[in-house]
Amino acid sequence: MSNQTIPAPEATIREIDQIIDARWIIPIEPDNVVLENHSLIIQSGYILDLLPSGDVAARYRGKEHWQLTDHVLLPGLVNLHTHAAMSLFRGYADDMPLMRWLQERIWPAESRHISADFVRDGTLLACWEMLRGGVTCFNDMYFFPLAAADAALAAGMRAALGITVFEFPSIYGSGAEDYLSKGLATRDALLDEPLLSFCLAPHAPYTVADTTFERIATIADQLDLPIHIHLHETQDEIDNSLKEHGVRPLERLRRLGLLGPGLIAVHAVHLDMDEIGLLATQGCHVAHCPTSNMKLASGIASIGTLLEHGIGVGLGSDGAASNNRLDMFQEMRQAALLGKLACREAAALPAHQVLKMATLEGARALGMDRLIGSLVPGKAADLVAVKLDEWDLQPCYDPLSHLVYVAGREQVSHVWVAGRLRINNKTPVDLDTCALLMRTELWQNALSNQR
């Protein structure tokens, strides 16, 4: 009998679409983890594997191989509340409180200028601003959702589009039922678009009637759609609700059947402890918009208390008309600092929790956490690379903390949505910048002439 050793068969090396090597990877799940010198394996727009970079060559060969030696790779940021087309109103009505801002400037300007073209152009501008800043998914609330969908798809960006509802007429709709009918028809027409989803988006308690809210609750239940609404944004909103309805807005929504895991309460600045408990027991979510809350002097939301009660909190920019940036790095930093100030506790809202709010918690609020929000095999390859090698960012002891307290959107170098490259070395892919600027200038001139 021979003692000759039979050689083992060579391991099969699988050819895949993309390999991304990074100095650091923050997967979000598990919590507060930073992986050093790891690689992400991408196949058909999804994450296939996450493993140490030294183990890749024996298992995978990529058609594309990215070596991001000075970068941190993280999930795409989720902007949980915005009005994307209002990027064309950036700086149009500054330094005014909310109701004057709406009644004296924004609503009159919208009545003169809003159209499908306005929404398409404004949303396209917003999409590229958000992509350039690492946002791969946004939750929108505005008119003409079909035009917003056209813009999001042209940019190659993921969007949750609002079926926006008001009682009063506009150029877009004649009343609440018309808004609902048109929004639902848009949803039906776009059901097969993998980058698009929908929310019911009644504007606010002070612009929507009880009968409409009841109809929205029924539709949300039938179609399993989230409900995205401005809620408890200002003290005036609460005072007026007490005068008109005898109860605070949240209690009114409870009686009408809107509370539950599908509710995304935007702003939620003015809540008492009973209301915080109600949001918690009903499994509701909050979209925290710290910069807009400050700029409109709406107040400081008690985010630390919401988190202590187990309420899911994501981050939103609000629209560029009230911010004036669609900058989630800014929102992370503001959320962390305001959260500490409100609690008078430096350990409140640590960096890893705020980064989770900007990614996975936003995805959960939209019911999309099985698809996006963390770097887990099987999820979509919505990715952001942030380059941390510049001299004014040094030293870097903790890249996770650096993302919240030091880095800005100007450090975003690469962005992928569903594995498709949208920002390459800080440059938008497939964007005609000159054409976009020309359209923006045309709208600026039109608005300036009637200001």
CATH 3.20.20.140 boundaries in the chain: 77-365
Q: Among 22-26, 111-115, 145-149, 330-334, where is mean pLDDT lowest?
A: 111-115
3-state secondary structure of 390: coil
3-state secondary structure of 249: helix
CA distances from 359 to 135, 350, 426 (A): 9, 15, 21
- For helices 145-155 and 176-189, the axis angle rounded to 10 degrees is 30
Count of positions (residues) in the chain: 451
On the 0-12 / 13-18 / 19+ scale of CB atoms within 10 A, 406 is middle
In this prediction, residues 351-357 reach a mean pLDDT of 98
- Residue 295's contacts (CB-CB under 8 Å, 6 or more residues apart) are 94, 322, 323, 324
> Residue 5: its pLDDT value, please?
52
Residue 114 and residue 171 in contact, taking contact as beta carbons nearer than 8 Å = yes
Per-residue pLDDT for 20 more than 60? yes
CATH 2.30.40.10 boundaries in the chain: 14-75+381-418
CATH for the 77-365 domain, from 3.40.50.1400, 3.20.20.60, 1.10.260.40, 3.20.20.140 = 3.20.20.140
Task: Please give the DSSP secondary-structure letter assigned to residue 38.
Answer: E
CA dihedral 358, 38, 20, 377 (to 10 degrees): -60
Per-residue pLDDT for 4 more than 70? no
Q: What percent of the chain has pLDDT over 90?
A: 93
The rounded distance, in Å, linking the Cα atoms of 233 and 113 is 26
3-state secondary structure of 213: helix
Per-residue pLDDT for 105 more than 50? yes
Per-residue pLDDT for 99 more than 90? no
Bond preceding residue 27 cis, omega within 30 of 0: no
> Residue 232: its pLDDT value, please?
98
Estimate the share of the chain in helix, then strand, then coil, as percent rounded to the nearest 5. Answer: 40, 25, 35
Which CATH code is given to the segment(s) 14-75+381-418? 2.30.40.10
The DSSP line for 98-161 is: HHHIIIIIIHHHHHHH--HHHHHHHHHHHHHHHHHTTEEEEEE--S-HHHHHHHHHHHT-EEEE
Average pLDDT in the chain: 96
> Residue 102: its pLDDT value, please?
87
> Residue 97: its pLDDT value, please?
86
Grade residue 1 by pLDDT with cuts at 50, 70 and 90. very low
Per-residue pLDDT for 248 more than 60? yes
399 CA to centre of own chain: 22
> Residue 319: its pLDDT value, please?
96
pTM over 0.85: yes
What tokens does 225 get? 């759609």
Q: What percent of the chain has pLDDT over 70?
A: 97
The rounded distance, in Å, linking the Cα atoms of 227 and 27 is 28
Residue 357 and residue 310 in contact, taking contact as beta carbons nearer than 8 Å = no
- Residue 141's contacts (CB-CB under 8 Å, 6 or more residues apart) are 81, 82, 83, 162, 164, 199, 201, 203, 228
Grade residue 10 by pLDDT with cuts at 50, 70 and 90. low
- pLDDT one-digit tens code per residue, 135-192: 999 999 999 999 999 999 999 999 999 999 999 999 999 999 999 999 999 999 999 9
What tokens does 81 get? 């509340």
On the 0-12 / 13-18 / 19+ scale of CB atoms within 10 A, 123 is buried
In this structure, the number of other CB atoms found within 10 A of the CB of residue 397 comes to 6
> Residue 449: its pLDDT value, please?
80
